[in-house]
């Protein structure tokens, strides 16, 4: 079931608003306070990546934001219209030599706070990130 | 809500009491400017009290690291006080617990400089 399907402006205001929507949908789906926080955190990081690194705040580009509830999970799809990136090129932010880098931790945190994460290149250009968080047993 | 940062001087240590969210945009840049200003004024012993910080995103974590580096490069130290459980988790996940000195007790933190 599609809970939300929106095209967002490439702005931090969009990020704030959409994070709030994702948090509300997670609460409605029966997630605990802590799991709701974790999903909201992952959604925010993925949206910031799309707006800042993908679309580079361009007024001509949108972020496609979709929240789906399946029988086993909440699935969040975030797609930008940027030039894409490779997760391999990011460097491991948890490696000793990278610990003092100012940036590059977003994907590691998304991975830690969700049950599944997929990153795909899209055509003609862009990145699609799919996050899944399994529903608590009683909500499944 | 963004972050509010209040500084107070305790002996030769500057304590920054932070309240709110440290996220990309206003929150993280406010922190960066305050640390830069303190270092420029020669205040190189900084204790950041995060007891009232409810949320730090990856950009905010980056600003903490950047602040730590700039204070260290100036010959000083930036230490953390009273982390909430969520912020402790973030430092564990990002392995920054190995970098920052973290205290639960302000008197002990002040005595450590």
Q: Taking residues B77-101, what's their average pLDDT?
A: 96
Q: In what order do the strands lie in the sheet with B13-22?
A: B3-10, B13-22, B45-56, B77-81, B102-103
Taking the CA of residue A73 and the nearest CA in chain B, the distance in Å comes to 23
Q: B99 near B68, Cβ under 8 Å?
A: yes
pLDDT at A63 over 70: yes
pTM recorded for the entire structure = 0.92
**Closest of A24, A27, A22 to residue A42, by C-alpha:** A22
Its CATH architecture, for the domain B3-108, is 2-Layer Sandwich (3.30)
pLDDT at A21 over 70: yes
Check if B98 contacts A (Cβ < 8 Å). yes
Name the residue among B23, B58, B99 with its Cβ closest to that of A99: B99
Q: How far is CA A138 from CA A24, A27, A69, A73, in A?
A: 18, 13, 14, 12
Domains with residue ranges and CATH for chain A: 2-139 (3.30.565.10)
User: φ, ψ for residue B13 (rounded to 5)?
Assistant: -105, 135
ipTM of the complex: 0.89
Q: What is the pLDDT of residue A124?
A: 82
- Strand pairing category for B45-56 and B77-81: parallel
Query: Where residue A139 falls among pLDDT bands split at 50, 70, 90?
Result: low
Query: How many contacts does A have with B, using Cβ atoms within 8 A?
Result: 48
């Amino acid at each position: 079931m599609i809970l939300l399907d929106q095209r967002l402006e490439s702005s931090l205001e969009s990020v704030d608003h959409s994070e709030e929507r994702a948090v509300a949908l997670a609460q409605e789906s029966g997630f605990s306070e802590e799991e709701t926080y974790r999903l909201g955190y992952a959604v925010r990081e993925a949206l910031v990546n799309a707006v800042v690194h993908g679309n580079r705040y361009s007024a001509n580009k949108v972020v496609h934001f979709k929240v789906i509830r399946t029988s086993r999970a909440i699935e969040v799809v975030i797609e930008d219209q940027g030039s894409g990136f490779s997760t391999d090129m990011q460097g491991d932010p948890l490696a000793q030599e990278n610990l003092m880098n100012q940036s590059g931790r977003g994907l590691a945190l998304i991975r830690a706070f969700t049950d599944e994460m997929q990153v795909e290149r899209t055509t003609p250009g862009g990145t699609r990130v799919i996050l899944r968080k399994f529903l608590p047993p009683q909500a499944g | 809500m963004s972050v509010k940062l209040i500084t107070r001087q305790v002996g030769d240590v500057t304590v920054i009491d932070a309240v709110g969210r440290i996220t990309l945009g206003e929150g993280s840049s406010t922190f960066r400017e305050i640390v830069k200003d303190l270092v420029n004024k020669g205040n190189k012993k900084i204790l950041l009290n995060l007891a009232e910080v409810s949320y730090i995103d990856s950009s905010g974590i980056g600003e903490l690291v950047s602040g730590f580096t700039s204070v260290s490069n100036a010959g000083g130290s930036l230490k953390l006080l009273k982390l909430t459980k969520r912020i402790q988790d973030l430092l564990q996940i990002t392995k920054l617990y190995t970098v920052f000195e973290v205290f639960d007790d302000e008197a002990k933190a002040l005595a450590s400089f």
